[in-house]
Amino acid sequence: MDNAESRCNISSLPFEIIAKVFEVFVLDNSRQLLHPSRQLLLASVCTRWRDICFSLSYLWTRLKIYPCPKLMASGDTETLAEMVGVWLARAKNHPIDLRIDVNLYMPHVPSIQSGDLIVSGILRRFSTQFRHWDGPARALHYAQLSSTSLPLLESVCISWNLLRSLDDRDFNSMVDLCVLGASKKLTRMHLVGPLTTTVDSPPLALNVTELILEGLSLGSVITILQRTPHLEMLSLFGEHMPSPCDYVTLPTLHTLRLRTSWGDTPALGHLKVPGLETLEILGAVNAWRGVSSLMERSSSTLRRLRLTAIPAHEISCYLSFIPAMQSVSELEVVLCWNDEAFFTKVLHRLKAGALPGLHTLRIKACPILRSGFVEVLLGDIREIAAMTGLRFLGLELAKRHDWEWWRDACMISFRDLVKEIEGLEVVIHGVSVSKE
């Protein structure tokens, strides 16, 4: 039989199967908002594919608006606005996820009104369909939406652009608008602003369960937290300047994420989180003292700890000097690729019984850089498992030029450990180590 005849012709597949393939290709793409042209790529293959794409309205529910250099240079904002309108109209009645690139408001745009002309009409036309909004406060300001214009909004990210900024009053009104318009549906809020931003009139965020605050002043952070009684997940990003503030108790908060470039974040000194179970810290060097005070003040029972881009000697401080860590059962550390102190500092503390209830350990970017480190790691894990009852070890090596060789060495070495310790599961770079 001819090879051409034996091959399956995709055009002969039923509509339902092709539609499912298109859905996976477009909507299951984690970078969809950054590459919205996947729909157009499919639609340009042939007439049948174009008809299928245009008939599947849910394929057109995600869009990122960014400045087209050619159109912006010519000042042809109406064409870009028309293109956006045609795209979103294809979504029909489906909820829409919209992201507006902040560069639409940068100085290289010929006219200060260019971004406003593109966005304002689009927002007014499709506001009742928005499920996720990500864009500058200025866009909402010029759209002049009413308090009932965003009934389906579930998630919002509002940024305050320094170069084309609104005053504090406008920023606050935009936040209030989104919350009031979304009513009970808004559960996730992400606010990005400079340290000079002061939120004097806090948003009515009574139903928000996940809150991300990036770069706002400490006073603004505390003010917003006072109006989120049902908060479950809190992320604090940036350097928050100290200021006199009251304590805020977040009784329902179970996850706290902290990211700063250096030193403590003053916001920790004003929080009480009695129900905290998961703590994630990214790059916050020298923050362990603030975390220690927070845990002592909150009397919470911590279950999961994730430390990323923190030196090994400081990780050992978390394990050694914070009594609340005794209750941690899941530990994940993401190391610096050449931080050999991990073996002498972190593993040493675990062998000494720093986390007696540990049953899950994940090590990422493990610095196995030379001969002998595999055996050291193997011996330390054996001792830790014997002391704590470790049941799961996830291991990823630092990806240097020879990391695959060390990965294979670990797979062979840990095979004996899996045979030796009943019930221990070891996964190395996503592959489970078998006993055979």
Q: Is residue 235 part of a domain?
A: no
Q: Is residue 355 part of a domain?
A: yes
Task: Say which amino acid occupies 241.
Answer: M
Q: Is residue 119 part of a domain?
A: no
pLDDT tens digits, residue range 183-216?
Answer: 568 888 888 876 555 555 545 556 788 988 887 7
Mean pLDDT of 128-151: 75
Q: What angle do CA 390, 366, 369 make, to 5 degrees?
A: 130
**Total domains present in the chain:** 1
Q: Is residue 432 part of a domain?
A: yes
CB atoms within 10 A of CB 155: 19
What confidence category does residue 346 fall into, taking pLDDT thresholds of 50, 70 and 90? very high
What confidence category does residue 180 fall into, taking pLDDT thresholds of 50, 70 and 90? low
Q: Is residue 319 part of a domain?
A: yes
Q: Considering all CA atoms of the chain, what is the largest pairwise distance in Å, rounded to the nearest integer?
A: 82
Q: Which helix (H) or strand (E) holds 408?
A: helix 403-420
Q: Is residue 1 part of a domain?
A: no
Token digits for 185? 């549906």
CA-wise closest residue to 104 among 95, 96, 113: 113
SS3 179: helix
CA-wise closest residue to 114 among 171, 65, 61: 65
**Separation CA 199–CA 222 (nearest Å):** 10
Q: Is residue 89 part of a domain?
A: no
Q: Is residue 50 part of a domain?
A: no
Q: What does the pLDDT read at residue 267?
A: 76
What do you get for the CA distance between the two ends of the chain, in Å? 43
Task: Please state the pTM of the whole predicted model.
Answer: 0.80
- Mean pLDDT estimate for the chain: 79
* Strand-strand pairing, 304-308 and 360-366: unpaired
Residue-range definition of the domain harbouring residue 397: 302-436
